[in-house]
């Protein structure tokens, strides 16, 4: 490694903090620019595949993650109209035997806090709040970022980890607004004591139906119960924290089995977000500026890989800077070259899985028979390429 670099990261979410952490571990001086008044995360649960635990192991974070994660015994899918089991994939030792790492779930706020605490423990990470990026300029030696309010911050590189509606992406890629999927998600969390025993499941369980599905699983060592209901809708709102319409949700699940209706009825207030992604792109870098996570490759949530792919990005970015011995522009080219096909495949496969979950008519019957007959797998076999993950040490050798 050559001389440590001053690096700017726009966005203090999971991806931005992961990037700050790995780069600070290599000695770089990292400034995280978060537009909100405080660092924090909204949302509910996140599923963590074996590929993500591989990254935690690489980063030395397995113990801190495991303290707040939950490890479900299985991953299943039922038909929301009939209640019949479509498929169940055992996890636990099965996942460890197949990939060397477990499958877990975690509260999004807990995952964010683990990364935030790790960054705070790094003396060369500067965490700035109320720092909204308005624009940037660059030359052969530096990037200068102009913040709302007029301040200017300078660094050797800028990483845009500013999410789906990224300002950095506007300047680098310029492909307009995100692609609206026509699906919305309602999220809520219950305390364990508020979930009747006959509605509780230790598994990650998805109830798939026509243009709709519900997924639920325990969180925080089984103390909480996470619910996410997804259905087709023409509503659009640019945010992650809008209140949902309970009447619309009830109408969409009118044909669901009684236990699903009863579970949905336990929630008085839902938060809603519109599911969006973008078409995969091959280039998301410009000189000393690059993108990471949702800013680079936003994806629908049907494979539960958004946060995980952002963490993989951060690791690959570190390895690219090591390989190029600090040549920022070359490192960013190497980084995106190593990532764009994998992340693009996740983006497109997530769309396909949305169709599987929301199938109707003949497609629904075919899905159920194929999965129940064992001729196809909705679990690890079909996603082996994704769950195997990446080997950081072999990326650029």
Catalytic positions, please? 217
Strands (E), the chain: 6-10, 29-33, 45-48, 74-79, 85-90, 104-107, 125-128, 133-138, 143-147, 152-155, 157-160, 179-191, 204-209, 212-219, 224-232, 242-243, 271-277, 285-286, 289-291
Task: Give the pair of three-digit tokens for residue 27.
Answer: 């000695």
Q: Which of 329, 349, 352 is nearest to 341 (CA)?
A: 349
Which residue is associated with the tokens 């699983």?
217
Residue 225 pairs in a beta bridge with 190, 218
Pairing, β 212-219 against β 224-232: antiparallel
Among 180, 176, 307, smallest CA distance to 237 is for 180
Which stretches of 1-49 are DSSP H helices?
Answer: 14-25
Q: Which residues contact 298 (CB under 8 A, 6 or more apart)?
A: 163, 164, 178, 276, 277, 278, 306, 347
Q: Tell me the C-alpha distance between 317 and 295, whole Å.
A: 15
CA 265, CA 246: separation in Å to the nearest integer?
A: 9
Report how far residue 10's alpha carbon sits from residue 332's, in angstroms, rounded to the nearest whole number: 16
3-state SS class at 296 = coil
Q: Are 260 and 214 in contact (CB under 8 A)?
A: yes
Largest CA distance in the chain: 63
Phi and psi at residue 380, to the nearest 5°: -65, -35
User: Count of alpha carbons within 13 Å of 41, Cβ hemisphere only?
Assistant: 23
> Two tokens at 92?
């636990």
């Amino acid at each position: 490694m050559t001389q440590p670099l001053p690096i700017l990261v726009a966005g203090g979410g999971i991806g931005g903090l992961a990037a700050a952490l790995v780069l600070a571990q290599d000695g770089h001086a990292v400034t995280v620019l978060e537009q909100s008044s405080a660092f924090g995360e909204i949302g509910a649960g996140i599923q963590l595949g074996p590929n993500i635990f591989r990254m935690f192991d690489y980063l030395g974070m397995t113990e801190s993650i495991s303290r707040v994660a939950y490890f479900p015994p299985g991953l299943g899918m039922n038909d929301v109209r009939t209640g019949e089991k479509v498929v169940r994939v055992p996890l636990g030792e099965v996942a460890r035997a197949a990939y060397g790492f477990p499958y877990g779930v975690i509260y999004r706020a807990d995952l964010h806090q683990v990364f935030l605490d790790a960054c705070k423990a790094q003396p060369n990470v500067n965490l700035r709040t109320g720092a909204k990026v308005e624009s940037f300029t660059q030359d052969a030696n530096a990037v200068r970022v102009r913040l709302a309010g007029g301040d200017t911050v300078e660094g050797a590189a800028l990483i845009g980890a500013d999410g789906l509606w990224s300002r950095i992406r506007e300047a680098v890629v310029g492909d307009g607004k995100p692609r609206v999927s026509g699906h919305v998600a309602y999220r809520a969390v219950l305390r364990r004591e508020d979930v009747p025993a006959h509605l509780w499941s230790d598994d990650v369980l998805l109830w798939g139906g026509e243009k709709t599905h519900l997924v639920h699983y325990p969180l925080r060592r089984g103390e909480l119960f996470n619910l996410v209901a997804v259905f087709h809708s023409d509503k659009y709102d640019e945010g992650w924290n809008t209140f949902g319409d309970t009447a619309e949700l009830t109408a969409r699940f009118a044909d669901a089995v009684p236990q699903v209706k009863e579970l949905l009825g336990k929630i008085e207030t839902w938060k809603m977000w519109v599911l969006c992604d973008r078409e995969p792109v091959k280039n998301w870098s410009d000189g000393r500026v690059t993108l990471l996570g949702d800013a680079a490759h936003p994806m629908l949530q049907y494979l539960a890989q958004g946060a995980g792919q952002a963490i993989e990005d951060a690791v690959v970015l570190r390895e690219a800077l090591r390989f190029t011995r600090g040549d920022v522009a070359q490192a960013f080219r190497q980084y995106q070259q190593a990532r764009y096909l994998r992340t693009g495949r996740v983006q497109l496969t997530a769309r396909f899985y949305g169709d599987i979950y929301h199938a109707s008519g003949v497609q629904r019957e075919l899905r159920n028979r194929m999965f129940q007959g064992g001729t196809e797998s909705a679990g690890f076999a079909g996603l082996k390429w994704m769950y195997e993950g990446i080997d950081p040490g072999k990326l650029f050798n």
